[in-house]
């Protein structure tokens, strides 16, 4: 039988050892740095080509179209674009079209300046890279009211695309606009310059912090018929489609 004195010694040892264990565990918990959470990122590259042959019952004409640049380098359909939610999406638009937009908005005669803004992007800005002479020389960068600044080698940091008095239109060739009903979730204007061969690049980034299926639409009337809102403008995979966010 264990004596009373020995029993107390055993209890004291257990308490001491347990206390040391608890202390070690507690010290570990408060001194070990948390593992940093890696920010989720993905990319989406869209390519706009102007001379795609479009034909339906009433139209037979070459018209512009958006394509998705696939990982293997091929051009895929933009009729349904799948994106992850709560993820930083790096968007690049390579635009081979050219020319200013005399009208912009939901019909062929509208001039809605909301569609000349970068909306829903990080900082509500985009970066425009273009090889045309006026962009290289920065001849439009002096207009501070348009919030345009130029940083050679890093693109133009742009909040809003201006009206070009020389060419008589908005410096917007197309827009990539994501809508939740009638609400603009994202608007990215694209400008390929006045080079007949186009070739402008627009880069920005954005988040979509909700899931669902939303529509996307170009708001520069560039189709045939219906004041520019026929043909490609009304056909999925050309100038419109859906964005599925999972």
Q: What is the pLDDT of residue 137?
A: 38
CB 103 within 8 A of CB 221: yes
**Alpha-carbon radius of gyration of the chain:** 28
Segment 85-92 mean pLDDT = 95
Burial (CB count <10 Å: 0-12, 13-18, 19+), residue 15 = exposed
Distance CA 199, CA 144 (A): 25
CATH architecture, domain defined by 41-245: Sandwich (2.60)
Q: Identify the residue whose tokens are 């909301």.
A: 114
Mean pLDDT rounded to a whole number for the chain: 78
Q: Which residues have a Cβ under 8 Å from the Cβ of 170 and sit 6 or more positions away?
A: 100, 101, 102, 104, 116, 161, 162, 163, 164, 189
Task: State the pLDDT at residue 39.
Answer: 72
| Measured torsion, CA atoms of residues 226, 230, 189, 244, in degrees rounded to the nearest 10 | 130
Instruction: Assign 195 a pLDDT band (cuts: 50, 70, 90).
Output: low
Confidence band (pLDDT; 50, 70, 90) for 104? very high
Q: What is the pLDDT of residues 149-173, one digit of tens each?
A: 444 455 678 899 988 888 889 989 9
Please check the confidence at residue 74 and state whether its pLDDT lies above 50: yes
Tell me what pLDDT residue 198 has: 66
Going by C-beta distance under 8 Å and a sequence separation of 6 or more, which residues neighbour residue 228?
103, 108, 221, 222
pLDDT digits (tens, 9 = 90+) for 45-59: 999 998 898 887 677
pLDDT per residue over 7-51, tens digit each?
Answer: 334 334 333 334 434 333 333 433 445 544 557 899 999 999 988
The sheet with strand 148-150 has its strands ordered as 75-77, 60-69, 41-55, 88-95, 200-206, 126-129, 156-158, 148-150
What pLDDT does 125 receive? 93
Residue 34: the pLDDT is 53
Q: What angle do CA 26, 29, 35 make, to 5 degrees?
A: 175
Q: For residue 193, what pLDDT band results from cuts at 50, 70 and 90?
A: confident
> What is the mean pLDDT of the segment spanning 200-221?
95
pLDDT of residue 8: 39
Q: Of 30-44, 75-89, 128-142, 195-209, where does mean pLDDT reach its minimum?
A: 128-142
> Backbone dihedral region of 124: left (phi > 0), alpha (psi from -120 to 50 degrees) or beta?
left
Q: Using alpha carbons, list the distances in angstroms from residue 104 to 4, 110, 173, 227, 241.
A: 94, 6, 10, 11, 19
Beta carbons of 227 and 208 less than 8 angstroms apart: no
């Amino acid at each position: 039988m264990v004596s009373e004195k020995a029993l107390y010694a055993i209890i004291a040892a257990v308490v001491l050892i347990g206390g040391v264990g608890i202390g070690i565990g507690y010290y570990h918990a408060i001194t070990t740095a948390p593992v940093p959470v890696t920010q989720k990122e993905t990319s989406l590259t869209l390519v706009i080509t102007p001379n795609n042959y479009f034909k339906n019952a009433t139209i037979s004409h070459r018209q512009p179209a958006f394509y998705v640049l696939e990982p293997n380098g091929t051009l895929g359909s933009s009729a349904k674009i799948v994106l992850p939610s709560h993820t930083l999406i790096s968007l690049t638009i390579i635009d081979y079209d050219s020319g200013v937009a005399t009208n912009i908005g939901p019909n062929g005669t509208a001039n809605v300046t909301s569609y000349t803004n970068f909306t829903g992007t990080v900082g509500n800005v985009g970066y425009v890279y273009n090889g045309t002479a006026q962009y290289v020389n920065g001849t439009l960068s002096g207009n501070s009211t348009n919030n345009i600044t130029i940083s050679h080698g890093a693109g133009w940091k742009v909040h809003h695309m201006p009206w070009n008095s020389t060419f008589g239109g908005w410096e917007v060739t197309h827009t990539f606009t994501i809508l939740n009903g009638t609400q603009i979730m994202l608007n990215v204007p694209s400008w390929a310059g006045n080079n007949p061969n186009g070739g402008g690049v627009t880069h920005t980034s954005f988040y979509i912090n909700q899931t669902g299926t939303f529509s996307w639409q170009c708001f520069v009337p560039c189709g045939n018929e219906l004041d520019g809102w026929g043909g490609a403008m009304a056909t999925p995979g050309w100038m419109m489609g859906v964005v599925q966010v999972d």
